[in-house]
Amino acid sequence: MNRITGKTKLLGVIGDPIEHSLSPIMHNAAIEQMQLDLIYLPFRIQPSDLEAAIAGLSAIDLQGFSVTIPHKQAIMPLLSEITEVATTIGAVNTVWRSDQGWKGTNTDIVGFVAPLKTRMRSAVQASWNSSIAVILGNGGAARAVVAGCAELGFAEIHVVGRNAAKLQEFARSWALDSLSVHPWDQLSTVLPRADLIVNTTPIGMSPNVDQSPLTDQQANQIKSGAIAYDLIYVPNPTRFLQQAQQQGAETIDGSEMLVQQGAAALEIWTRKPVPDAVMRDALRNHLGLVS
């Protein structure tokens, strides 16, 4: 904090609540390493104050900001421009200044696909275009996951959800031949064929660490060599990832997505290469995880 001067520029994250956000930890660690005269702060903004707050953030010359729950959709009409990717997902998580005003995008796709792209380096996963993805849940994060799987070229993308009306609405919102949706009780029809299984539900998130979206019987259907990916990052590993590991699956936890969506945002704001390893270490240290 000693480095703050009259010239220091501001970045931040808006949400409500905001106390639990891990973004300030990651971003300020990277900013320090990059030796930039910037500081990244949390701003608790209630939904009814959003419009006034955005005008205020312009007035105080904020350079850019992250957007979290509950503002990811509500902010969209308040921006002067929105990228195609954010329009497809239907949510904005990163905002920056352009000549016209605030511009918004969504870096969750970049965050989601980053660890999968690393896996592609292995000979077995030379390409995803004959692979099958099964996505558990059909909420906000599932939209970024579907877009990410489509970008990687998955042959089949199956979304499994518990609410028939929401599931149909989800299906209708995509123009994607590879996408199909299934009620939860039909999970067994697709799970045994899955090369990638992604948990986008909050089931198993702390404090409910004994829960999993899969029963043990369902987990037995995961094929050896599949990739199990949980967007949850606390606990680490989740019960779902433990079940998958027992089946011989590779696992990916949600911390890397969190790091990579943040690194992509910081790169937009600074237009400089971002030390994602510094962000990863800061996050893992904060969460008490072994790096």
Between 58 and 285, whose beta carbon lies closer to ligand NAP? Answer: 285
Instruction: Give bridge partners of residue 228 from the DSSP assignment.
Output: 197, 251
Between 79 and 259, whose beta carbon lies closer to ligand NAP? Answer: 259
Report which residue type is found at 194.
A
Give the nearest distance from C-beta 87 to ligand NAP in angstroms.
Answer: 17
Between 119 and 162, whose beta carbon lies closer to ligand NAP? Answer: 162
**Which positions touch ligand NAP (CB under 6 A)?**
108, 111, 137-142, 161-163, 166, 200-203, 205, 231-233, 254, 257-258, 261
Gap between the Cα atoms of 82 and 72, Å rounded = 12
Burial 218-243 (b: 16+ CB within 10 A, else e): ebebbeeebbbbbbbbbbbbbbbbeb
Between 69 and 126, whose beta carbon lies closer to ligand NAP? Answer: 69
Give the nearest distance from C-beta 219 to ligand NAP in angstroms.
Answer: 15
Give the nearest distance from C-beta 148 to ligand NAP in angstroms.
Answer: 11
Between 8 and 186, whose beta carbon lies closer to ligand NAP? Answer: 186
Give the nearest distance from C-beta 31 to ligand NAP in angstroms.
Answer: 20
Which residue's CB comes closest to ligand NAP? 139
Gap between the Cα atoms of 243 and 240, Å rounded = 5
Judge contact between 111 and 260, C-beta under 8 A.
yes
Give the nearest distance from C-beta 140 to ligand NAP in angstroms.
Answer: 4
CA distances from 194 to 228, 270, 283 (A): 9, 39, 30
Among this protein's residues, is 72 annotated catalytic?
yes
Choose, from 9, 72, 103, 166, the residue flagged as catalytic.
72
Gap between the Cα atoms of 161 and 143, Å rounded = 13
Number of Cβ within a 10 Å radius of residue 140: 17
Judge contact between 9 and 61, C-beta under 8 A.
yes
User: What token pair was written down for 222?
Assistant: 């995961």
Judge contact between 61 and 10, C-beta under 8 A.
yes
User: What token pair was written down for 281?
Assistant: 């270490």
Catalytic residue ranges: 72
